[in-house]
């Protein structure tokens, strides 16, 4: 669970101090699919950095799974990122000339997961992200944009994080591939109960989420759930319940093989 309590962020490195966030508060429950939307310069990137434990707020509290990470040092933040957060970047950021599988295994290296377990978990994460099994050993520069983003999603997924943060994940993709990638996020949320925060400036991308937080000039303008917007409210709540169940099952059995099994069964 994520709790932001009156978060502000002021940058003092420039000639004049600049306040990017002016008191932002919200709560995101486990298993939610949230879009944070706003034009460029609205403070949404700053918010993402704080939510992703890349940066700490100037004032206010950020609680991740009940832990206040607001005043953590660099290495403690790295530890939080390693265990609780998965990133998907606009620019993909795969390691060059490295196979898809190895790219996905990278976070597990830092988490000191056993070698044998690494490959298992990376493979199941790639399959969960809808990546074609035949391309596991292709190098990152031999893959298409859509495939690369699926590898990036699998990499974000592989550590079993509490939260997946996607920063403009469709920004570098054509609209058709973008739809496929967004579909992947939806299915991760619906099928595997993943908590996903999508940062975007496009309304139609944000529409894929169940909840939209609109931010502008460092304050929240709107925080709306999709029940009103969705055509099939009934189906939606049904899926959400299912997602909740799967999610709990995973927490009860956090082992990788169990995870792989649950993916396989689905």
Residues binding other proteins (CB under 8 A): 49, 52, 54-55, 74-75, 78-79, 81-83, 86-87, 89, 91, 93, 95-98, 106-107, 109-112, 155, 159
8 A C-beta contact, residue 104 and residue 125? yes
What is the rounded distance in angstroms from the CA atom of residue 132 to the CA atom of residue 105? 16
**Least distance CB 106 / other proteins (angstroms):** 6
**Least distance CB 228 / other proteins (angstroms):** 35
Query: 35 or 158, CB closer to other proteins?
Result: 158
Query: 78 or 127, CB closer to other proteins?
Result: 78
Query: 8 or 98, CB closer to other proteins?
Result: 98
What's the token pair of residue 51?
A: 């939510």
Helix (H, G, I), strand (E, B), or coil: what is residue 87? strand
Please count the CA atoms within 13 angstroms of the CA of 13 that sit on its side-chain side.
Answer: 3
**Least distance CB 49 / other proteins (angstroms):** 6
What is the rounded distance in angstroms from the CA atom of residue 138 to the CA atom of residue 29? 37
**Least distance CB 11 / other proteins (angstroms):** 11
Query: 104 or 212, CB closer to other proteins?
Result: 104
**Least distance CB 48 / other proteins (angstroms):** 10
Task: Transcribe 181-217 into DSSP letters.
Answer: HHHHHHHHHHHH---EEEEES-HHHHTTSSEEEEEET
Query: 49 or 191, CB closer to other proteins?
Result: 49
- Which letter does DSSP use for residue 94 in this model? P
């Amino acid at each position: 669970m994520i709790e932001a309590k009156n978060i502000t962020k002021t940058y003092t490195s420039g000639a004049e101090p600049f306040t990017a966030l002016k008191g932002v508060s919200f709560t995101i429950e486990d298993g939610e699919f949230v879009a944070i939307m706003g034009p460029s310069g609205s403070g949404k990137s700053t918010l993402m950095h704080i939510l992703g434990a890349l940066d700490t707020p100037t004032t206010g509290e950020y609680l991740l799974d009940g832990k206040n990470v607001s005043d953590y040092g660099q290495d403690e933040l790295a530890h939080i990122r390693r265990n609780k957060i998965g990133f998907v970047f606009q620019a993909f950021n795969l390691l060059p000339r490295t196979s898809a599988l190895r790219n996905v295994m990278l976070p597990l290296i830092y988490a000191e997961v056993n070698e044998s377990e690494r490959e298992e978990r990376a493979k199941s994460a790639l399959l969960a992200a809808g990546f074609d099994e035949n391309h596991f050993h292709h190098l990152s520069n031999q893959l298409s944009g859509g495939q690369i983003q699926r590898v990036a999603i699998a990499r974000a997924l592989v550590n079993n994080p509490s939260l997946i943060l996607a920063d403009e994940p469709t920004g570098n993709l054509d609209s058709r591939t973008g739809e496929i990638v967004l579909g992947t996020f939806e299915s991760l949320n619906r099928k595997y109960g993943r908590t996903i925060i999508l940062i975007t400036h496009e309304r139609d991308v944000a529409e894929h989420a169940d909840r939209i937080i609109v931010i502008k000039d460092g304050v929240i303008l709107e925080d709306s759930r999709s029940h009103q917007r969705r055509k099939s409210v009934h189906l939606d709540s049904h899926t959400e319940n299912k997602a909740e169940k799967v999610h709990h099952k995973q927490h009860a059995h956090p082992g990788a093989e169990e995870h792989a099994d649950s993916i396989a069964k689905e």
